A = this chain, B = another copy of it.
Amino acid sequence: MRGYDDDKQELLARLRRAEGQVRGIARMIDEDVYCIDVLTQVSAATKALESVALALLEDHLMHCVAAATAEGGQVAQDKLREANAAIARLVRS
């Protein structure tokens, strides 16, 4: 069981759509679609993945991190540090 357990079907549906978007971008390039129109689709796929990341992070904080801090101690500190590193990676990517 994971933090995203309740949202699993929703996350999988979003990822299937993102996969379809990426495949659609390849098709556009294969068919010589105008650069700017391809770029618009790349932005859309990037935003879709960003939303998946934010949903995963939210679930992680609401469940895994909240459970660890409720217990306290070293485990809580480690979970918080790990979450902060993941947030920094996301903000900088």
Q: Which residues of A does B touch, CB under 8 Å?
A: 1-5, 8, 11-12, 15-16, 18-19, 22-23, 25-26, 29-30, 32-36, 38-40, 42-43, 45-47, 49-50, 52-54, 56-62, 64-66, 69-70, 72, 76, 80, 82-84, 86-93
CA distance A16 to B26 in the complex (A): 8
- Contact across chains for A19 and B23 when beta carbons are under 8 A apart: yes
- Contact across chains for A86 and B30 when beta carbons are under 8 A apart: no
What DSSP secondary structure best describes chain A's contact surface? Answer: helix
Give chain B residues whose Cβ lies under 8 Å from the Cβ of A5.
Answer: 32
CA distance A16 to B19 in the complex (A): 10
Q: How many monomers of this protein are in the complex?
A: 4
9 contacts between A and B (CB under 8 A): A2-B32, A2-B35, A3-B35, A12-B29, A18-B22, A19-B22, A35-B60, A43-B90, A90-B91
- Contact across chains for B53 and A92 when beta carbons are under 8 A apart: no
